[in-house]
Structure 1
Amino acid sequence: MFNKPKSPAPERPSNALPIPPLPDLPSPGLNRAPAPVPAAAPSPIASSRGLSTLSSDLQFEGNISGSGDLQIDGAIKGDVRVGRLIVGETGAVEGNVTADYLEVRGRIVGGVSGKQVKLVSTAYVDGDITAEQLSIDIGAYFQGRVLQSRREAPAPIAPAPRPAPPVAEIETAPAVAAPAEDKPQIIDLKSV
């Protein structure tokens, strides 16, 4: 359909300084040994669904909610309610945080609630934590109360009430005013 004419690449003057590569991409022209990348422990989020990231140069004001996975490396002023959350070392949240799985490496000022909450050694949390499982590494800062929540067990199912055994009906004769003298009264009992 459409053809774009190929133009030759512009030549660089011989006295020009080389352009440094981006930190995470290899340089095509330079033959340097790749810098060793520190091995980080794989997070449970990385292996699951797609991870949304709020990068370190972003600031967000307002509430965030959803069922997905989120990594916060920037700053948020507002409540966060997601399925899984990582607050990175440069991340900061000023508000309440709720997530099924929460790993804190950065700073949270506000209440924290989740099924699994992990405070890594670089974490700073100023607020109450409500969690089923809580892990706090040595070096993490935490100021607040901890409330351990338990999964609510389903209500026990009560057995159905048994029907009452049949009751014999008692048939009585109509009451007759007794004369002054006492006569025995006759009552007929018939079973049904």
Structure 2
Amino acid sequence: MFSKTRVTETRPSNSPAPAGASAAPDQPLPERPTPEAAATPAAAPKPRSAPSILSADLHVTGNLKTQGDVQIEGIVEGDIRAHQLTIGESATIKGEIVADDVVVHGRVVGRLRGLKVRLTASARVEGDIIHKTIAIESGAHFEGSVQRQDDPLSNGITKKLAPPSSE
């Protein structure tokens, strides 16, 4: 299990030194990394910050724009652009929503554009949804159209097919 080496033991000069021993006694041993240096990788990813929360008693008139995450519990009359947007059960949004990831528990009146869109059972959406992936739980209320696009976040107008030629 453990092996003990004798430091005072003399070796013949032609025998190899044991592993980990330095060749000459006056040479310094190689430095070992400190535990702090080993614990922090060189390229650590930035930790995600907590979402910004708009409480239920807050009424916002105007547009919201962030690259972070937002959770809305109050009323917003304006457009919202975010990375991840969670619309709480008590929330009402009147405007366009553009986000990578949208979870709707409350009410939305307006267009919704997102890579991932999820309408929970308590969701009430009146407007068009443009998405890459969508999930609609049983019990969700939805009035509008649904369209799948590979890039729903682009600001371009939805492409329509040309009418057939009458030749």
Q: Provide the TM-score with structure 2 as the length reference.
A: 0.61
Counterpart residue number, 2:60: 60
Structure 1 segments, 4+ long, off by >6 Å, are none
Structure 1, unpaired ranges of 5+: 1-46, 153-192
1:81 aligns with 2:89: no
Structure 2, unpaired ranges of 5+: 1-46, 153-167
Question: After superposition, what is the alpha-carbon deviation per residue over 1:20-63, rounded to whole angstroms, capped at 9, x for unaligned?
Answer: xxxxxxxxxxxxxxxxxxxxxxxxxxx94311000001100000
Larger strand percent: 2
Fraction of identical pairs, as percent: 38
Counterpart residue number, 2:145: 145
Larger Rg: 1
Superposed counterparts of 1:62-141, under 5 Å: 62-141=62-141
| CA distance in structure 2 between the aligned counterparts of 1:87 and 1:151, rounded to whole angstroms | 22
| CA distance in structure 1 between the aligned counterparts of 2:97 and 2:151, rounded to whole angstroms | 19
Q: Which amino acid aligns with 1:143?
A: E
Q: Provide the TM-score with structure 1 as the length reference.
A: 0.54
Q: Which has the higher relative contact order, 1 or 2, with Cα contacts under 8 A spaced 6 or more apart?
A: 2
- Aligned pair count reads 106
SS class of match (1:113): strand
> Alpha-carbon deviation of 1:151?
4.5
Counterpart residue number, 2:32: none
